Amino acid sequence: MRSPAAHPRHVIADWAAPSQWRAANNTAEGTASALDLRQGVVAVARWHNWAGNAESRPTRILTPRSVDEVVSAVQAAAARELPVRMVGAGHSCSPAAVTSGVMLTSDGMVGVEQVSDTEVRVLPGTTVDQLCRELDSLGLALPAVGDIRAETVAGAALTAQHGSGRQTPSLTAGIQALELVLADGDVVTVAAAQDGDLFQAAKAGLGGFGVVTSLTLATVPTYLLHARTFPDRFENTVSTFDDWDSDHDMVEFDWYPHTDRTVVRQFDRSAGPVAHVGRSRRWPSGPIRSFATAGGVARLGRSLPPAVPGLNRLSAAAQPPGDTTDRWWRVLPTAPKVRFVELEYALPRPMLRPALTMVRRAIEDGPERVTLPVLVRTGPAEDAWLAPAEGRATVYICLRVFHRSPYQRYFDTAEAVLTELEARPRLGTAQSLGAERLASRYPRFADVQRVRNRVDPDRRFGNDYLARVLGDGA
């Protein structure tokens, strides 16, 4: 076992404000602790997620810095019959983190605890970017990463964040073990051979089974990644995508609504050398693209809806073609330059053409003018019970809307189409399905509910969203 290099810890005081905190109205000053809860001290703050579409007014926000402090906070919350939710960077577009009870921030639990040639154990508040850099310095890499650097590892994993490629699973699939604080304060480690049912339920379980205090992830030797980006047209992209998906390690594309324009990105491991051709060294490759242009288009399109088709053609043309070869973590993941609300559905892999054709028709026939592109990615079958790729090779269709634009009617239209095609929503996005409809789409859904009833019968880790998507019957 190798010792990792020292990892900088980003620690905040319990009531100091991270970027997504709004002004807090505190009835108590100073450092919060689980003892405050026992003594009846109450403070009210407002929290909202990165996209701004989910807001919470927790009774208390705490920043535990150890497993013992998490245990103490959970037990103190239980004594006051308060629910508990842990929050990361707030990048989920669902209300999964919302609570009226105790909100635990993961900012105090950051860093790499242990690392070997094949695994790394990481604390939940570590960001994807921090972990990628740390691993690369040790000659290691993740086999798959999420698409946003600022996400916490726990947040990305528990919401099944993913990349793209026929053999590139979600970050969730790389989890080898989880350490959890359960509702009764017990600390357990679960893995495939150690309470495998709880492991499979919790891996993509939105934090509904316990507070994750560490994750053990699979690693591979570090590598260079070559990325090629080029413009294309919708019909050729859809017709050729299967061939590209077979020929490259990873492939994805953006389709720009109200146009026939696409931008395709292909990724392959490379022997090098590091090179950047046709674009600047700072080209933000990957599934988010250059949002500097997209952000401008989104803002202008919000004010001038009739101009959106022309603006989208301009935005597609502004994505510069080129090739780059660099360290894996410099190519993927990315840092979005515009905020968005997203809805993502996963379908059986052969459904790409009919699904995207139906979504395109619905958008063209609908009243909304959509300025951000539709992102299409693929992934292999996975085993986590709440992963949208559970048991089947998958194509993902992700719709995004500028965070200051109305999105519900657009998402409702797309959901009506996708739910007719055996699609499963990724539960960390702004989807609307409830437990009754999800039960018919996730084969192990009844097992998920059975495990949740066993480990959290009082719904200590519940909220309104989990009640809707997982059901509330004990």
Where do the domains of the chain lie?
A: 112-221, 224-432
Walk across the sheet containing 211-218 and list its strands. 112-115, 119-122, 211-218, 175-181, 187-191
Which residues are bridge partners to 259 per DSSP? none
Statement: residue 202 has pLDDT above 70: yes
**pTM, whole model, 2 decimals?**
0.88
Name the CATH code of domain 224-432 (choices 3.20.20.480, 2.40.40.20, 3.40.50.10320, 3.40.462.10): 3.40.462.10
Express each pLDDT in 415-463 by its tens digit: 999 999 999 999 999 999 999 999 999 999 999 999 999 999 999 999 9
Q: Domain 112-221, what architecture?
A: 2-Layer Sandwich (3.30)
Q: Count of CB atoms within 10 A of residue 285's CB?
A: 24
> Region 389-416: what's the mean pLDDT?
95
Q: Work out the burial of residue 140: count CB atoms within 10 Å of its CB; fewer than 13 is exposed, 13-18 middle, 19 or more buried.
A: buried
> Which tens digits make up the pLDDT trace of 100-157?
999 999 999 999 999 999 999 999 999 999 999 999 999 999 998 877 889 999 999 9
To the nearest 10 degrees (0 to 180), the angle between helices 408-418 and 352-365 is 140
pLDDT tens digits, one per residue of 373-383: 999 999 999 99
Confidence of residue 294 (pLDDT cuts 50, 70, 90): low
Q: Tell me whether strands 102-105 and 60-62 are parallel, antiparallel or unpaired.
A: parallel
Q: Which of 183, 169, 234, 201 is nearest to 364 (CA)?
A: 234
Please, which residues have CB within 8 angstroms of residue 225's CB and are 6 or more apart in sequence? Answer: 267, 268, 269, 270, 325, 326, 327, 328, 331, 332
| Mean pLDDT of all residues belonging to the chain | 87
166 vs 183: CA distance, rounded Å: 37
Task: Name 80's Cβ contacts closer than 8 Å, sequence gap at least 6.
Answer: 37, 38
